Amino acid sequence: MSSNLQTISQILQEAESQSLYKALILQLNKDFNLAGLTDIKVSENETPTTLQNTLFDIIEHLVRTNFEGFLAFLYRIDLSENQVKNLPKEDFNIFKTQVSFLILKRVWMKVWYRKKYS
């Protein structure tokens, strides 16, 4: 796993290059489901660009309408609430982009480690 992944696009490209893109989506869906967000499901056929936009929309929806669900999801994927609290909140678009990056990075780590050590 490349440790210098700095953008969502880089994470998704890395997942595709290692043939783990579908596994990334499946893990994301599994984590939504286990966090009690059973109404959220990302299509396995989404392109990386569409996935990125879908995740932005999901984060925005959760933060605005189901903050407890958002926190439950962060807990489920083992993303520290403090990491999110420390993000700049002046511009919500930047905030949801950075939260989406942290989420995808964490989910990607889970998928990559599972593949490497299974």
Instruction: Write down the domain spans for the chain.
Output: 8-116
Q: What is the pLDDT of residues 21-53, one digit of tens each?
A: 999 999 999 999 999 999 999 999 999 999 999
Buried b / exposed e along 4-27 (16+ C-beta atoms within 10 A) = ebeebebbbebbeebebbebbbeb
The model's pTM: 0.92
For range 47-76, the mean pLDDT: 95
Q: Who wins on pLDDT, 84 or 101? A: 101
For the cut 90, the answer to whether the pLDDT of residue 88 exceeds it is no
What is the reported pLDDT for 37? Answer: 97
